[in-house]
Amino acid sequence: MPIIRWNPSTDLLNLHSELDRIFNDVIPGPAGLFGDGERARAALLPVDIRRDGDQLVIEAPAPGFDSNEVQVTVDGGVLTIDAHHEQETEDKKEEYLRKERFTGRLFRQVSLPVEVIGEKAQASFKDGMLIVRAPLSKKTEPKRIPVSTEATGSAGKTRRSSSKTGRGK
C-alpha cells in the first residue's frame, strides 16, 4: 500500500516555484513580479518517505540551513516542515556574477497515515538533511461481528427469527 500517491500537480508546483525564483532573480525588487516577497520566495521542500520497521522516516534536504532555522510540527495528522534562511548582509559591497544558493523559505506539509503516533515523533538535523522519525502503532486486526436477522410481525413487534425450520412434521 503506497503511503503517498504521485500527484502531477506537485511537479507543476515545483516548476512554478523554480520559475518564480528565476524571475525574482532577474527582476530586482522586494517582491519581484509575483506578490508579497516572502510568499513569492517560498519553495516546495522535497521529501522522501519510507517505512523502516515500526516507524515512518521522512527525509528532507535543506542544505545551507541550520537546525535552529527549521521548525517541525505535527497537528491533526499533518506533518509541517517550515524552514527560513535569511541571507547575511555585510557592509562591503560585493558584486555577484551568479548566486544560486537558496535563501528564503522552504515549506512542506505531509498527511500522515492513521497509524502514525505523531506525539512521539522525533526530528534530527545533520549535514543539511532533516530526518523525522515517527513510530507506527500496532496494526489492529479486524474483528468479525456476528449479524443476527430480525423480522417484524403483524402487530409491529420485532421478533427474532430462528435458524430452525418447522419442516418434517
Same domain, 69 and 126: yes
Q: Within a domain: residue 158? A: no
Q: What would the mean pLDDT of 119-126 be, rounded to a whole number?
A: 92
Cell of 68: 535552529
CB 56 within 8 A of CB 3: yes
Same domain, 34 and 49: no
CATH number at residue 121: 2.60.40.790
The DSSP annotation for 8-64 comes to HHHHHHHHHHHHHHHHHHHS-SSSTTSSSHHHHHEEEPP-EEEEETTEEEEEEE-TT
Q: Within a domain: residue 111? A: yes
Query: Per residue in 2-61, pLDDT tens?
Result: 566 666 766 766 776 777 777 666 655 444 434 444 444 457 888 999 999 899 999 999
Query: Per residue in 129-160, pLDDT tens?
Result: 999 999 998 877 788 999 999 877 655 555 55
Q: Within a domain: residue 156? A: no
Residue 7 is predicted with a pLDDT of 67
pTM (predicted TM-score): 0.55
Amino acid code (one letter) for 94: E
Same domain, 34 and 62: no
Total domains present in the chain: 2
Cell of 114: 492513521
Residue 130 is predicted with a pLDDT of 94
- Residue 5 lies in domain: 1-42
- Look at residue 74 and tell me whether its pLDDT is greater than 60: yes
